[in-house]
Structure 1
């Protein structure tokens, strides 16, 4: 059964973006956002759009259109299902508009899904104070994805770099609980209590790539003591880097602290950089069957969806 929340999401975003699918890809690549390219490879009978039509789907947005209706909704649903797997992939799927989707067109289409997963490191920065405002322009020059999170909308600067997503949320701890697995976290808020609750939420996830917390040696000692009383193990507590930053870069000015933290984040980013994996695409026979659709009266397509991931 389709999720009615997904249906609402489809309807609320359909047509709201002025970007074409090609413009969207350029923007999403700059941002390091995962996305799916959905392409109509072949059709028979009456269909909303012709072969070669494309749209782009992310976890939250859609760009361009395959003609709307239930076909497009099912394509979006399939694309987002593939995105949750977090791996680059290709898939072909056949859609019968009349039999399964209740559209009056009555035709059929084969759609290819290309899942494009960013290999960029994900960094969530909590707090938009002076240090963060000095730090973000530096980190934004790296090929990483950044979410900048605060519960105060008015503290953010007017101009945010393209690969930085501003998140204003009254419950930053809840944002941490919903974060992408394997993210790196940097806590720079103005509130020690919030800092501690964020640390607890992130350590409970047990999947952080890295956790840095701004503060003094005294704050670090106090946090470790309190975490032990919350029944976190010594191994979990040791994953918290506090004070965050390169030890031999001293100074208390926002830019000095920012440069110190940037050095540590750059080292982390470089550790995560690996050569691209070789991938193989869909088998030629699968593609040949799909391309033949445009010349056949009846749909000739794979009997089932095929998924191919990188080896």
Structure 2
């Protein structure tokens, strides 16, 4: 994308897609500066949308935002840029930039199976800022209605032996995703669990079925070389403890409730975002005078440590 792309269109799209991005807003200036308060730019790990005025100052804003996104940060930060000092620009002004960081999808779920339970579960996930990677080896099995931007439907193609190439499908998953296996075929289920265990980097693995099904799978997976510790990480049956019901929707609700227990908890804190006293200091207006009646810009407050 080019710096000429308007920020609000990019922000809307990135929010709907739950992709990592930062909204940078000029909230106050003093002296000679490239742009005025209210100017905004959207920054992703590899693109920018719109501009804060260019130059080394803008590059520093982009670098600061990308470092925070790479660290998985979210929330709000207030950064101070003395253009003659920190940014090395000759205009010599001072800019405060608010960075609103969005780390991306709260969770990534890999769902194998588009049967009755899979469809109900996909509908439950759809409104949430989660990314769903939905797989099935059957042609034309996915619902006719299109998924939203956070739902990626993938057909598992046949391999050279004519069987679904589940190893290739599993290899394309992002690390740290939560995998759920509920295909129409027990052999395919077992092959997927085998491939997931060989990857070894899933946040969780759940398999639909009974305890007797898992006992059979466990023996064959152990014979395939998987140790007790790895096998203990597979949940079967799936669903939150204590849930009852065998209808597809009931099972999907139980699985959804279980997924919510894996969602990272917010760190409890009395203060979140920029500290109130920092904001009060940053937004204290310059005193009016007859000569500077129209000047309502922010004075230089060093909050670069936030």
**TM-score strictly above 0.5:** yes
Cross-structure match for 1:306: 305
2:230 corresponds to: 236
Determine which structure has the larger helix proportion and give its number: 1
Structure 2: distance between partners of 1:175 and 1:161: 20
Q: 1:40 aligns with which of 26, 31, 34?
A: 26
Seen in structure 2, the aligned counterparts of structure 1 residues 271 and 133 have a Cα distance that, compared at 3 Å, is closer
Alignment correspondent of 1:110: 96
Q: Cα–Cα, structure 1 residues 85 and 275, in superposed 2: closer, same or farther, change >3 Å?
A: closer
RMSD: 4.6
Distance in 1 of aligned mates of 2:89 and 2:224: 56
Q: CA, structure 1 residues 297+19, in 2 after alignment: closer, same or farther (shift >3 Å)?
A: closer
Mapped partners of 1:218, 1:144: distance in 2:
35
The one of 90, 109, 119 equivalent to 1:133 is: 119
Matched-pair contact (CA < 8 Å) for 1:44–1:296: no
- Give, in angstroms, the shift of residue 124 of structure 1: 0.8
The match for 2:257 is 266
Q: Is the alpha carbon distance of 1:167 and 1:19 closer, same or farther for their aligned partners in structure 2, counting shifts above 3 Å? A: farther
State how many pairs are aligned: 278
Rounded Cα–Cα distance in structure 1 between residues aligned with 2:89 and 2:35: 13
Partner deviation per Cα, 1:48-70 (whole Å, 9 max, x = no partner): 42112233445566555434555
Q: Which has the larger radius of gyration?
A: 2
Counterpart CA distance in 1 for 2:61 and 2:219 is 51
Secondary structure at 1:300 match in 2:
coil
1:12-91 superposed matches below 5 A: 12=1, 14-16=3-5, 19-20=8-9, 24=12, 28=15, 35-58=21-44, 64-68=50-54, 71-91=57-77
TM-score norm. by structure 1 comes to 0.64
1:160–1:77 CA distance, 2 compared to 1 (3 A): farther
Could you tell me which residue of structure 1 aligns to residue 151 of structure 2? Answer: 165
Which consecutive residues of structure 1, in runs of 5 or more, have no partner in the other structure?
A: 1-11, 251-255
> How far apart, in 1, do the equivalents of 2:111 and 2:196 lie?
9
d(CA) in 1 for partners of 2:44 and 2:274?
22
1:77/1:232 Cα in 2 relative to 1: closer, same or farther (>3 Å)? Answer: farther
Calculate the TM-score normalised by the size of structure 2. 0.65
